[in-house]
């Protein structure tokens, strides 16, 4: 029963993280479920993976330890970070991610000889539910009230490229289900239809990186699998109808055009539902026919050669298209949001973001600017007013934010995950190895996709991926002898409570900041001041909390308190242009233009290409006053 409880709790957690993402409650649940599983193992209730000194348990614990190390280094960067509150958030994010990895290891130990199949089924369930909901939003636009603003498929995760990555995982896991010899026929057909839905979803996200990761993911899965020819034919039976349905959808205004009228979206959505069901029926018929087909050896050889030839032609055509398109790293090569973007190799200014990340790294190559601070650090380097929270490359993100040390820890995470996956594929056999082969593609596709996007910022895809990698690292290693360790269990409980406290306090502070805003809107200055003080006490590193507190004092017309509040913001984050700007803007508004110039000019130095600097704006007026003889 405890093992079944762990599986149910893990499945609910995965569903929660896919649909709720960055929610505090999901983060708290991850820490609690992983901590409870580890405590149960230490008390002998659940099987515990072999210890880190054991040969069989080496990579499982190394994977979890490297994630913890990366999180701790992110937390340590608070000491020198240019945005300490952001670094605290990254510490919490890293600890939550380590909880997902630990949960995967515990699932592998508790699942015994079915650990990989259990983990693969749970990840398929969570990601599959997200895809079904996303496609349902195309059929019925009322499910997503914001669906008319942007047509690219993105809910429930909220970002099309992240949803495409989830669909990539579902595609390979569904192919595993569709070609499994241990499942009954209805389950195999269900897997085939889910894989078909995944391909349609990838195409409707119009994500080029997602499409590329899907192609390479399927290729890797076939390479790692047995019965490659049969599985390749099943793949074609699933993929070809999906491309046909998506191709038709690309011609419908209500499905692919931003801002389409609601009535058009409703009408086209109904047709999409009908066409999608027809495509699903075609997939079921095609896969059933493939299952019954038994070619002789000569025919199998011809089919294999034909598929290899098609693969080579497609690869050469893709390479030729890329070469003909020119350098995708050139800046200013913005790509549209309609389906024609699938034929464009431009990187949407990623090249410039990558160069900015490299400049930030070179400025402090050992320890970086602080975890999570790319958005602040890049402002002195950017050549336009484009906003970007991350460089759209996870390795570069760690290199810029946490320096060579953090980047090394990130490489340790990748190496431990890779070693764990390779070890699982070597140890396992038959049905469990087939599941491991599909599960191994999930972190591989994630890593490929992370080279051109900021997937680390999305728990909805990173959490399940790390659980999958943890399950692979712990698969087939058996379990440690059942020995009760009550003191170690008590230490884990204490640590889990500490992590919960670290995660909860910034969340509570953000709630208080929202209360400040609501109180200011209704003119309740006393309530606003109380909420602002509470936010400051909960998260003394929060720049927003200080700025809100200063704004309250400004509304109360307490000039000294307001000026001191804005000055505290500058002292807290002296390399953040926002802190200098709001101090300078306050000085400007109260008529202290000479002092305002000093602060606004510092903000300009830190962010010279901001849209805040316009002719006749506060900086120009303050500069004119300074340049007037005898004014200052």
Q: What is the pTM of this model?
A: 0.92
53 versus 205: which is more confidently predicted?
A: 205
pLDDT of residue 574: 95
pLDDT of residue 344: 63
Whether residue 304 is predicted with pLDDT greater than 60 in this model: the reply is no
pLDDT digits (tens, 9 = 90+) for 119-175: 999 999 999 999 999 999 999 988 887 666 778 899 899 899 999 999 999 999 999
Q: Which two tokens stand for residue 82?
A: 């240019």
pLDDT of residue 50: 74
Q: Which two tokens stand for residue 181?
A: 């010899």
> Which residue do the tokens 């499994």 mark?
180
Closest CA to 427 of 464, 466, 469, 473: 473
Q: Of all residues in the chain, what percent carry a pLDDT higher than 70?
A: 89
Whether residue 323 is predicted with pLDDT greater than 90 in this model: the reply is no
Distance separating alpha carbons of residues 194 and 475, to the nearest angstrom: 26
Q: What is the mean pLDDT of residues 359-386?
A: 92
Reported residue count of the chain is 632
Helix (H, G, I), strand (E, B) or coil at 77: helix
594 versus 278: which is more confidently predicted?
A: 278
pLDDT digits (tens, 9 = 90+) for 94-123: 999 999 999 999 999 887 778 899 999 999
Whether residue 223 is predicted with pLDDT greater than 50 in this model: the reply is yes
Helix (H, G, I), strand (E, B) or coil at 182: coil
Cα distance between the two ends of the chain: 77
Helix (H, G, I), strand (E, B) or coil at 523: coil
pLDDT of residue 177: 94
Angle (nearest 5°) at CA 391 between 205 and 69: 105
Q: What angle do helix axes 208-224 and 228-249 make, rounded to 10 degrees? A: 160
Give CA 537 to chain center in angstroms.
Answer: 30
**What average pLDDT does the chain have?**
88
Which DSSP state fits 50? Answer: P
pLDDT of residue 478: 63
Confidence band of 332 (pLDDT split at 50, 70, 90): very low
Which DSSP state fits 45? Answer: S
CB contact set of 132 (below 8 Å; sequence gap of 6+): 197
Domain ranges of the chain: 2-474, 576-632
Q: What is the mean pLDDT of residues 328-341?
A: 59
Q: Which two tokens stand for residue 123?
A: 């990840």
Whether residue 324 is predicted with pLDDT greater than 60 in this model: the reply is no
Q: Which two tokens stand for residue 341?
A: 């973007």
pLDDT of residue 345: 66
Strands, E assignment, 509-568: none
Distance separating alpha carbons of residues 586 and 54, to the nearest angstrom: 62
CB 133 within 8 A of CB 156: yes
Q: What angle do helix axes 24-42 and 459-474 make, rounded to 10 degrees? A: 10
pLDDT digits (tens, 9 = 90+) for 182-203: 888 899 999 999 999 999 999 9
| Helix residue ranges per DSSP H, 206-261 | 208-224, 228-249, 253-256
CB 405 within 8 A of CB 73: yes
Closest CA to 275 of 138, 110, 478, 124: 138
Q: Which two tokens stand for residue 71?
A: 């999180």
48-57, 498-507, 517-526: which has the minimum mean pLDDT?
A: 48-57
Q: Which two tokens stand for residue 421?
A: 């996956």
Q: Which two tokens stand for residue 505?
A: 């306090």
Whether residue 205 is predicted with pLDDT greater than 90 in this model: the reply is yes
> Which residue do the tokens 């380097």 mark?
381
Whether residue 319 is predicted with pLDDT greater than 60 in this model: the reply is no
Q: What is the mean pLDDT of residues 44-53?
A: 75
Confidence band of 313 (pLDDT split at 50, 70, 90): low
Closest CA to 568 of 578, 583, 588, 558: 583
pLDDT of residue 365: 94
Q: What is the mean pLDDT of residues 553-560?
A: 91
CB 390 within 8 A of CB 454: yes
Give CA 236 to chain center in angstroms.
Answer: 29
Closest CA to 372 of 393, 350, 401: 401
């Amino acid at each position: 029963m405890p093992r079944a409880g762990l599986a149910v709790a893990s499945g609910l957690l995965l569903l929660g993280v896919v649909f709720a993402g960055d929610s505090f409650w999901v983060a708290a649940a991850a820490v609690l479920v992983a901590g409870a599983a580890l405590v149960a193992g230490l008390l002998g209730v659940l099987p515990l993976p072999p210890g880190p000194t054991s040969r069989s348990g080496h990579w499982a614990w190394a994977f979890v330890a490297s994630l913890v190390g990366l999180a701790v280094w992110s937390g340590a960067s608070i000491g020198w970070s240019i945005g300490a509150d952001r670094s605290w958030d990254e510490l919490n994010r890293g600890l939550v991610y380590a909880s997902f990895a630990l949960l995967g290891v515990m699932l592998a130990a508790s699942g015994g000889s079915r650990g990989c199949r259990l983990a693969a089924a749970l990840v398929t369930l969570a990601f599959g539910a997200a895809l079904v909901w996303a496609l349902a939003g195309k059929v019925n636009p009322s499910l997503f009230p914001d669906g008319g603003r942007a047509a690219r498929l993105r809910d429930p995760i909220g970002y099309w490229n992240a949803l495409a990555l989830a669909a990539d995982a579902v595609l390979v896991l569904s192919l595993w289900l569709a070609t499994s010899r241990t499942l009954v026929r209805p389950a195999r057909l269900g897997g085939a239809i889910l894989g078909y839905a995944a391909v349609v979803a990838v195409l409707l996200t119009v994500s080029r990186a997602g499409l590329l990761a899907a192609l390479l993911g399927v290729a890797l899965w076939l390479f790692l699998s047995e019965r490659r020819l049969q599985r390749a034919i099943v793949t074609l039976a699933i993929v070809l109808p999906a491309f046909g349905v998506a191709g038709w959808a690309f011609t419908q205004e209500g499905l692919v055009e931003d801002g389409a009228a609601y009535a058009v979206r409703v009408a086209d959505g109904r047709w999409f539902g009908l066409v999608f069901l027809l495509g699903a029926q075609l997939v079921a018929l095609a896969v059933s026919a493939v299952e019954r087909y038994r070619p002789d050896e000569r025919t199998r050889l011809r089919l294999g050669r034909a598929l290899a030839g098609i693969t080579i032609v497609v690869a050469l055509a893709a390479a030729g298209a890329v070469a003909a398109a020119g350098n995708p790293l050139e800046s200013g090569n913005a790509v549209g949001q309609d389906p024609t973007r699938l034929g464009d190799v431009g990187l949407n200014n990623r090249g410039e973001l990558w160069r900015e990340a490299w400049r930030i790294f070179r400025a402090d190559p050992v320890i970086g600017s602080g975890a999570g601070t790319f958005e602040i650090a890049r402002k002195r380097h950017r050549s336009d007013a484009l906003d970007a929270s991350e460089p759209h490359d996870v390795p570069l993100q760690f290199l810029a934010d946490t320096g060579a040390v953090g980047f090394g820890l990130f490489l340790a995470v990748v190496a431990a995950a890779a070693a764990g996956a390779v070890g699982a594929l070597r140890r396992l056999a038959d049905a469990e190895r087939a599941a491991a082969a599909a599960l191994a593609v999930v972190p591989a596709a994630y890593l490929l996709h992370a080279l051109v996007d900021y997937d680390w910022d999305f728990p909805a895809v990173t959490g399940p991926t790390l659980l999958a990698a943890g399950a692979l690292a712990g698969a087939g290693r058996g379990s440690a002898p059942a020995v009760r360790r009550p003191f170690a269990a008590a230490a884990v409980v204490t640590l889990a409570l500490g992590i919960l406290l670290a995660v909860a306090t910034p969340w509570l502070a953000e709630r208080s900041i929202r209360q400040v805003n609501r109180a200011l809107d209704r003119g309740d200055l006393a309530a606003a001041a109380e909420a602002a003080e509470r936010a400051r006490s909960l998260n003394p590193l929060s720049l927003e909390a200080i700025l809100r507190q200063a704004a309250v004092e400004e509304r109360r017309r307490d000039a000294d308190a307001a000026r001191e509040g804005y000055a505290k913001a500058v002292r807290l984050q002296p390399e953040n242009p926002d802190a200098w700007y709001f101090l300078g803007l306050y000085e400007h508004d109260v008529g202290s233009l000479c002092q305002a110039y000093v602060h606004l000019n510092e903000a300009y130095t830190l962010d010279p290409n901001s849209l805040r600097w316009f002719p006749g704006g506060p900086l120009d007026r303050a500069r004119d006053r300074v340049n007037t003889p005898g004014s200052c």
